[in-house]
Amino acid sequence: MQNLLAPIEQFLHCATPDAWIEKAKQPENLNGLLIDHMICELKAAQTAMFLIRRYAVDKETGKALLAWLQPYQDYVFRQQGDLQQLANISGLSKKIEVRKDSPYAQDLVDKMVLLIKEELHHFYQVVEIIEQRGIKLGFIDSSRYAKGLLSHVTTHEPDTLIDKLICGAYIEARSCERFAKIAPFLDAQLNKFYISLLRSEARHYQDYLALAEQVAGHDISDRIKLFGEVEAELISTPDSDFKFHSGVPIS
C-alpha cells in the first residue's frame, strides 16, 4: 500500500491534518462522512461526464450519457429508487460517437468512461453500506473545497480544460490519501472497503494528469504547482464545515 501512496503523497503539497483525522475517527461523525462520501462518488462521475459531453461527443451521445447517470442523481437528490434499482441499471445504452475534430477526444472518452463506471460502482457500494446501517439520507450542502479549486480555473480554452483536469487530479489524489488515513481507525467492513478503493483512485489522478499534459502539449508544471498550493491551503486552513474534503475542523 505504501508503494501505491508514495507518489500521491509526493504529488500533494500537504498531508491531511491530524485534527481532521481525529474528528473523522469519532463515531458520531461517521454517518455524515459516509453520506458525503456517497455524494463525492456521484460528483466524480458527474465531473467526468461533463468533460466527455463538453469536449468529446455529439449532443445525442451526450443525452445518452445523462440518461445513464439520472437514476443515481434521482437517488441522491430526489430520494427516488433503492439499492435493487441501482443494481439493475444496465449502463450506457448508446455507442459513444467521438468527435472527429478533437485529437484528444478518444483518450478523454476512454479514460473518463472507465472512471465513471468505477465511481458509480463505488457509489453503489457506499449506498449498500448506508442502507445496511439504516442511515437516513439528509441534505448536505456543497463544501468550499471544489469551489475553491475551480475558482482558479482559466476562462479560455484549451486552458480551461487543462485546469479542470488538474483539479480532477488533485481531488482524486486527496480522496485516495484520506481513504488511507482513516481506514485504520474504522470498523472491519469500512477498513476493508476503503483499502479496496485505493488502487482505482490512485489511477484516476494519474489519468487526469496524463490527459492534462496531452491536451496542453507543453510543460504545465506551473499550473500543476499553482493548484497544488491552492489545494493544500484549502486542506490545511480552518474550515467551519466537516466533510470528506474539508480543511482543519473548527472546534
* Distance of alpha carbon 125 from the chain centroid: 15
Q: Which of 171, 166, 161, 178 is nearest to 226 (CA)?
A: 166
- Return the pLDDT at 94: 63
Per-residue model confidence (pLDDT) at position 125: 95
Burial of 123 (0-12, 13-18, 19+ CB in 10 A): buried
Neighbour-count burial of 93, counting CB atoms closer than 10 A to its CB (0-12 exposed, 13-18 middle, 19+ buried): exposed
> Into which CATH architecture does domain 2-249 fall?
Up-down Bundle (1.20)
Contacts of 9 (CB under 8 A, 6+ apart): 15, 177
CA distance linking residue 88 with residue 44, whole number of Å: 21
Q: Does residue 99 sit in helix, strand or coil?
A: coil
Per the listing, cell 455529439 goes with 58
C-alpha 71/C-alpha 122 separation (Å) is 15
pLDDT given at position 93? 61
User: pLDDT by residue (tens digit) across 187-226?
Assistant: 999 999 999 998 888 889 999 999 999 999 999 999 999 9
Q: Which helix (H) or strand (E) holds 238?
A: strand 238-239
Residue among 7, 96, 118 nearest 52 (CA): 96
Q: Does the structure show a pLDDT above 80 at 138? A: no
Cβ neighbour number for residue 134 with a 10 Å cutoff: 7
Kindly report the CA angle at 102 between 100 and 106, in degrees rounded to 5? 80
pLDDT at 152 over 90: yes
- Per-residue pLDDT tens over the stretch 90-123: 777 667 888 888 899 999 999 999 999 999 999 9
CB 237 within 8 A of CB 245: no
239 pLDDT tier (thresholds 50, 70, 90): very high
Q: Confirm if 244 and 34 have CB atoms less than 8 A apart.
A: no
What is the Cα–Cα distance from 58 to 55, expressed in whole angstroms? Answer: 9
